[in-house]
Structure 1
Amino acid sequence: MAQNTSAAVMAQRAAPRDGLDDFPTHPWALRAFIEYIFVKALRHQPDEMTVWEPAANRRFMSRTLAEYFEHVWETDIHDYGVGVGFFDFLTLGDTLGLYDAPPFANGGAQWIISNPPFKDFEKWVELALECATDGIALFGRLQMLETIARYINIWKRWQDHTLCAAYIERVSLVEGGLDPSANLPQAYAWLVIDKTQILPNPYPGLVTVPTVLIPPCRDQFVRPGDYEVRAAQ
């Protein structure tokens, strides 16, 4: 039987449902988000802010966040051998208030920016909003826009503070590392919920999610050493 190579099938991010969702984010894609969306669109100054990356993986995202933010905390549920602290983010609701030190304490980090396991996306939104004082930015498949539960619990509830940032240029994630030559049909975007400001709704009475398109910019934001795995110092 011939392999089904339709876009709908090939776009699936196929990780075991009960295993690690090990699909690291390209540093260039994060730099583009920070410069076009976080700084230019939302007008934030990350060099005066703290951020927590709770799915730090092999540090591709947390290393890039450190280029911009005043302080970065990095944790993960799995030990990838790069010196990242252990923490199971899905237990956050049980541990808030048990720790005095950031980022685990209430108000420990201003922002949570991460690429969470997609199967737990809605739960991550809920927990991240409990902890971060200013807002969250979560990277995921564009299918994050779908399902009635997300419509009620995310898009409708937080519509005055929410935007979606999607890429014109393809961001291709592969399991187990980064492949700069990958070219896969899956579309990725950022869910941003900014508690510090109200975003305009041009259609009162309807749930709207402003969508900002990140222009083609890969060549602009790729840096030497991006694809090397480096341990925390």
Structure 2
Amino acid sequence: MIPLNHRAVMAGRREPPKSLDYFPTAPWATRAFVRHVLPLLSPQPIRSAWDPACGEGHMAEVLRETVPAVLASDIFDYGRGYDVSDFLATGPGAPAHTVDAIVTNPPFKAAADFALRALALAPIVALLCRVSWLEGAGRYERLFRLRPVTLFAPYVERVPMHRGRWEPNGTTATAYAWFCWAADPLCTGIQMIPPGQRRRLTCPGDVARFAVPAAPSLLAAE
């Protein structure tokens, strides 16, 4: 588990295989979700959440700033102390927790599997995916036709995501949105996350907590 305000959380990190599609979430993007989307998914405060694709904790640790109880797990051991388990496993011993909400940034190729599994476990499910995840006849037949999204929440400003690390000054041409399902929502349809969140919700300690330290310069050692 990453301690709050820890200044060396990315030291000694383990690189996951590319097949896991690991693209960490910018901390400000999770805070924007908590501020603009999460309160619309339930008339009662959400007291517990589970991030089953937590990676190095970029999303789970930010959720812990607001949500009292946050569980975090991942199929890959990043060396952060989180539970190592396969969220998509079924049968005896499969991971399952009683929580108000499952909130995660799943691997793109397995996102539909994550959605279906999460919907069987929690009354509120929120997945951060590319907007293009809406497309595809196969995904529609398998998921959206039978379980239409309750709330679709796109970011007006782009959320930069980079494979294997969070880049504080990164840019992107890819659009992201939250795909949400809720049993008793306060709002349905489309809820756009307004611009200006990156500037407003980036905290001074985020780089120390979540960014991968730059490699030391060879010239500095001379």
What is the TM-score normalised by the length of structure 2?
0.79
Structure 1 residue 45: deviation in Å? 4.8
Among 90, 99, 113, the alignment partner of 1:109 is: 99
Q: Does 1:127 align with 2:117?
A: yes
Amino acid at match of 2:200: Q
Count, aligned residues: 194
Matching residue of 2:83: 85
Deviations 1:170-207 (A, max 9, x none): 1010011110111110111111001224866xxxxxxx
Structure 1 residue 18: deviation in Å? 6.9
Among 158, 173, 177, the alignment partner of 1:185 is: 173
Matching residue of 2:41: 42
Matching residue of 1:19: 19
Matching residue of 1:205: none
Matching residue of 2:147: 158
C-alpha spacing 1:17/1:79, structure 2 compared with 1 (3 Å):
closer
Structure 1 residue 34: deviation in Å? 1.3
Matching residue of 1:213: 192
Structure 1 residue 42: deviation in Å? 3.5
The 8 Å contact of residues 124 and 181 in structure 2, kept in 1 or not, is answered as yes
Write the distance in 2 (CA, Å) between the matches of 1:57 and 1:215: 27
Aligned-partner SS, 1:126: helix
Matching residue of 1:227: 207
Matching residue of 2:10: none
C-alpha spacing 1:197/1:43, structure 2 compared with 1 (3 Å):
closer
C-alpha spacing 1:84/1:17, structure 2 compared with 1 (3 Å):
closer
Write the distance in 1 (CA, Å) between the matches of 2:57 and 2:18: 22
Matching residue of 1:33: 33
CA RMSD of aligned residues (A): 2.3
Matching residue of 1:145: 134
Deviations 1:55-76 (A, max 9, x none): 1111111101111112011111
Write the distance in 2 (CA, Å) between the matches of 1:211 and 1:176: 30
Amino acid at match of 1:155: F
What is the TM-score normalised by the length of structure 1?
0.76
Matching residue of 2:4: none
Matching residue of 1:194: 182
Structure 1 residue 155: deviation in Å? 2.4
Identity %: 35
Aligned-partner SS, 1:143: helix
- Structure 1, gaps ≥5 residues long: 1-15, 201-209
Amino acid at match of 2:80: V
Aligned-partner SS, 2:140: helix
Write the distance in 2 (CA, Å) between the matches of 1:190 and 1:183: 19
Structure number with greater CO (CA < 8 Å, separation at least 6) is 2
